[in-house]
Amino acid sequence: MYIIGINGSPNKKGNTYYLLDKLLKYCGEQGAETEIINIPQVLSTLKNPFCTACSNPCTGQCYQNTELETTYNKLKKADGVFIGSPVYFGSASAQLKAFFDKSRKIRGERAFVNLVGAAVTVGGSKYGGQETTIKAIHDMMLVQGMIIIGDGHVDYDAGHHGVSAQRPAETDDFAEKRCIVLANRMIEVCRAIKDANLRAKR
């Protein structure tokens, strides 16, 4: 099983990274191969990190032979992905939005259909836009045909939208507990998808 953490934060080792690292460590303890990818660093390899709809349908020519193409190819092979972003003006970071904007060719290939996805976010205050940010991430995943999971598990409770934390994340005990639940849910659903053979062979 291969599970990726997508860090949409400009802070390479900040609060969002902290939560993703926790989630992936829990998944790793259950046998999954894991990796965190820092999206701002990936986008920095591009001449233009923002989509300009330079071709329609999208050919992906703007990111050929770049780290972004490598990242998309890794996600094609993944069983699950945690997508994280800090709260910026009540929504996801510009870097994470650019990452999805650039994925038009991937959508045409239906390469992420049935990829299991979960959202992770951190805000500067207790009610700092975490749920609206998660909803924005969910919308991006839905447009790619992904299977969205929340932090619910039969051994714990029905859960909510995903893991939401207040900065600094390392002092948010509730968020840490939800990481355990979400990681268990990710493993559970990824196993079910593999057993059902719903992902295309790539």
Give the pLDDT confidence of 47-105 residue by residue, as tens digits.
999 998 888 899 989 899 999 999 999 999 999 999 999 999 999 999 999 999 999 99
pTM of the model: 0.95
For helices 130-143 and 94-101, the axis angle rounded to 10 degrees is 10
Across 9-17, average pLDDT: 94
Q: Is residue 133 exposed (0-12), middle (13-18) or buried (19+ Cβ within 10 Å)? A: buried
Q: Which CATH superfamily is domain 2-46+60-196 in?
A: Flavodoxin domain (3.40.50.360)
Q: What is the pLDDT of residues 123-148, one digit of tens each?
A: 999 899 999 999 999 999 999 999 99
d(CA 135, CA 137): 5
**Band of the pLDDT at 202, cuts 50, 70, 90?**
low
